[in-house]
Amino acid sequence: MLKSVLNTALLAAGLVTASSTLSIAADAKGDWVRPNGASKIRISSCGNSLCGKLIWLREPRNDTQNPDTSKRDRSLVGVQIVQSMKPTSQENQWKGKVYNAEDGKTYTGFIKLTSANKLKLEGCVMGGLICKGETWTRAN
């Protein structure tokens, strides 16, 4: 009987530890660095979605490609590039919009937490048939 109680307690402790680890791994909020190290993006809650703003650029510049000409003189730092990301049916994945400052276009976007410190971002066209992405690393 004592052995059964101990086994149950150990199993419960293991499940609590595993669920704690999963909830930590599933948190995409935080600061992320692009692979080339040229910028940092902060992912945070915006209502019941996730959003991401540029918080640092190695070489500061303006939003010169923005289709709204009134925004072309603004700094890219502070611009929301990950917009209204809502959970999908896939675990640790969100879907919304991604603004690409390189061409001034907004794409259907996905972010997926592939590990506690890796976040894959994709921008897609043609209903998701063609996607291009990169994997960001969590900033320290």
Domain ranges of the chain: 28-138
Domain covering 28-138, topology? Lipocalin (2.40.128)
Q: What are phi and psi of 4, to 5 degrees?
A: -65, -40
Count of alpha carbons within 13 angstroms of residue 33, beta-carbon side = 10
pLDDT tens digits in sequence order for the chain, 140 residues long = 434 433 433 333 333 333 333 444 469 999 999 999 999 999 999 999 999 999 999 999 999 999 999 999 999 999 999 999 999 999 999 999 999 999 999 999 999 999 999 999 999 998 878 999 999 999 98
- The reported pLDDT for the residue numbered 129 is 87
| pTM, full prediction | 0.79
Cα–Cα separations (whole angstroms), residue 107 to 23, 99, 133, 138? 28, 6, 11, 23
Question: Whose structure tokens read 């902060």?
Answer: 42
Among candidate residues 94, 89, 86, the one with its CA nearest the CA of residue 119: 94
pLDDT digits (tens, 9 = 90+) for 117-132: 999 999 999 887 899 9
